[in-house]
């Protein structure tokens, strides 16, 4: 059963990869948010937040462009990781892009759980409120950005040209990497979601909300 579920992450059908990823990574997110809320001090990551000193323009469009450009770093890491895969022990391979996505979701979860947002000036609400507020997609950018990252990861999940199975490594020519029409559309959708998230985050920052 577990092997069948794991195989969904490398399934030829984009929808299967997407559904499996939504279930796994959002479960991981909520789990890490709860654990970090319970065991870590509030604001522990503020000093370590790489955007703590990152100032954006007061112009909505320039600010959104700055935030989107910054968030593209995660996409570059995911795309690079997707070029490599490891054996799934069921005649399939798992993309390292999923590892990068899991790391990003875990960091986001700890930020939420410990209330380590660098641009937040008001007192931390309870955990349930923090998690519910994530679904306020008109005023919160997190869900837009995470869904964009997740969709792009799923679209790139089968492009690996270097695959390892234990000590055995096999590779194919880089030029053989191909994306289906569905996967290309998914990447575009993922980027659009991240752009929307950048505009929402910019608006909230500019208006100190």
Q: What's the pLDDT at 87?
A: 84
Q: What percent of the chain has pLDDT over 90?
A: 65
Q: Is residue 11 part of a domain?
A: no
Domain annotation covers residue 58: no
Which tokens go with 184? 């290309």
* Total domains present in the chain: 1
pTM summary value? 0.91
> Is the pLDDT confidence value at 11 over 60?
yes
**Would you say 153 and 101 are in contact if contact means Cβ atoms under 8 Å apart?**
yes
pLDDT given at position 46: 73
Residue 200 has pLDDT above 60, yes or no: yes
Confidence label for 186 from pLDDT (cuts 50, 70 and 90): very high
Outline where DSSP puts E strands in the chain. Answer: 84-87, 93-95, 162-165, 168-171
Whether the predicted pLDDT of 209 surpasses 90 = no
Question: Considering the domain boundaries, does residue 145 fall inside one?
Answer: yes
Whether residue 52 is contained in a domain is answered as: no
| Helix, strand, coil % over all residues of the chain, rounded to 5 | 60, 5, 35
Q: Kindly state whether residue 48 falls inside one of the protein's structural domains.
A: no
The number of CA neighbours under 13 Å toward the Cβ of 2 is 2
Nearest to 176 by CA among 160, 153, 152: 160
Decide: 146 and 71 in contact? Cβ < 8 Å.
no
Residue 103 reports pLDDT greater than 60: yes
**Position with higher pLDDT, 209 vs 92:** 92
* Cα–Cα distance measured from residue 90 to residue 84, given in angstroms and rounded to the nearest whole number: 17
Q: What is the pLDDT of residue 125?
A: 85
| In a domain? residue 37 | no
| Mean pLDDT to the nearest integer, 116-131 | 78
Tell me what pLDDT residue 157 has: 95
The whole-number pLDDT of residue 21 equals: 96
Range of the domain at 203: 66-209
- Are 140 and 134 in contact by the 8 Å Cβ rule? The answer is yes
C-alpha 102/C-alpha 108 separation (Å) is 10
Whether 5 is covered by a domain: the verdict is no
CA neighbor of 145 nearest in space, from 197, 101, 205, 105: 197
């Amino acid at each position: 059963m577990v092997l069948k579920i794991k195989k969904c992450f490398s399934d030829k059908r984009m929808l299967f990869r997407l559904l499996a990823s939504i279930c796994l990574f959002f479960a991981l997110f909520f789990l890490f948010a709860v654990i970090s809320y319970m065991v870590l001090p509030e604001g522990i990551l503020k000093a370590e937040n790489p955007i703590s000193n990152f100032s954006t323009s007061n112009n909505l469009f320039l600010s959104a462009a700055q935030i989107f450009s910054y968030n593209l770093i995660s996409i570059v890491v995911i795309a690079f990781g997707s070029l490599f895969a490891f054996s799934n022990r069921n005649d399939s391979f798992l993309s390292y892009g999923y590892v990068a996505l899991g790391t990003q979701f875990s960091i986001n979860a700890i930020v939420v759980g410990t209330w380590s947002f660098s641009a937040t000036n008001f007192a931390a609400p309870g955990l349930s409120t923090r998690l519910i507020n994530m679904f306020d997609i008109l005023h919160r950018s997190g869900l837009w950005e995470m869904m964009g990252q997740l969709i792009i990861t799923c679209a790139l999940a089968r492009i690996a040209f270097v695959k390892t199975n234990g000590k055995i490594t096999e590779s194919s020519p880089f030029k053989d990497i191909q994306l289906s029409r569905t996967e290309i559309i998914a990447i575009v959708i993922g980027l659009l979601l991240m752009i929307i998230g950048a505009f929402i985050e910019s608006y909230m920052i500019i208006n100190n909300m």
